[in-house]
Structure 1
Amino acid sequence: MKKKSILSLIIAMFLSSNIAFAQQSDKVYLTADEVPNAVYWLPSPPAPGSSQFMYDISQYYWGKQQRLDTLRAQKAIREAAYEVADMVPQFCSAFGMEISKQKTPAIYKVVERAVLTIRLSATKPKATYMRKRPYVYFNEPTLVPAEEEELRTNGSYPSGHTVRGWGMALLLCEINPAAQDALFKLGYEWGQSRVIAGFHWQSDVDASRMLAAACYARLHTCKPFLDDMAAAKKEFEKLSR
Structure 2
Amino acid sequence: MSLFTPSALLRPALAAAVMSVLAGCATTAAPQGTPVEASVVTKAVGYLAVRDVPASLNLVPAPPVAGSAAAALDDQISREARALRGSPRFAQATTDAELGFPEGANQFSCAIGMDVDAQKTPALYRLLERSRIDASAATRVAKHHYQRARPFMVNGEPTCTPDDEEGLRKNGSYPSGHTSIGWAWALILSEIVPERADAIQLRGRNYGESRLVCNVHWQSDILEGRFMGAAAVARLHDNPEFQRDLAAARKEIAAARASGAHSSRDCATEEAVLKVRPDSAL
The structure that has the greater radius of gyration is: 2
User: Aligned pair 1:190/2:207, yes or no?
Assistant: yes
Aligned to 1:73: 90
**2:234 alignment partner in structure 1:** 217
Q: Would you say 1:142 and 2:159 are equivalent positions?
A: yes
Q: Which amino acid aligns with 1:195?
A: L
- TM-score, normalised to structure 1, is 0.86
- 1:22 aligned residue: 38
| Matching residue of 1:130 | 147
One-letter amino acid of the structure 1 residue matched with residue 96 of structure 2: E
Shift in Å at residue 89 of structure 1?
2.1
Q: What is the DSSP-based 3-state SS (H/G/I as helix, E as strand, rest coil) of the residue aligned with 1:30?
A: strand
Give the direction of change, closer, same or farther, for the CA distance of 1:49–1:32 in structure 2 (3 Å limit): farther
Alpha-carbon shift at residue 231 of structure 1 (Å): 1.3
User: In the aligned structure 2, how far is the partner of 1:90 from the partner of 1:139?
Assistant: 29
Alignment match, 1:49: 67
The answer for unaligned runs of 5 or more in structure 2 is 1-34, 259-282
- Compute the displacement of 1:23 (Å): 8.7
The 3 A distance-change label for structure 1 pair 79 and 135 is: same
Does 1:162 find its partner at 2:179?
A: yes
The 8 Å contact of residues 23 and 31 in structure 1, kept in 2 or not, is answered as no
- Alignment CA distance shift 1:122-1:84 (3 Å): farther
Q: Give secondary structure in 1 for the equivalent of 2:102.
A: helix
Q: What is the TM-score with the length of structure 2 in the denominator?
A: 0.74
Q: List structure 1 segments (4+ residues) > 4 angstroms apart after TM superposition.
A: 23-26
Deviation at 1:238, TM superposition (A): 2.6
Q: Secondary structure at the match of 1:28?
A: strand
Q: Report if aligned partners of 1:159, 1:208 keep a CA contact under 8 Å in 2.
A: yes
CA RMSD of aligned residues (A): 1.9
> Is structure 2 residue 102 aligned with structure 1 residue 94?
no
User: Which residue of the other structure, out of 195, 206, 210, is the alignment partner of 2:223?
Assistant: 206
CA gap 1:171/1:20 in 2 versus in 1, 3 angstroms: closer
- Residue among 33, 42, 52 paired with 1:34: 52
Separation in 1, partners of 2:239, 2:114: 26
More helix by share: 1
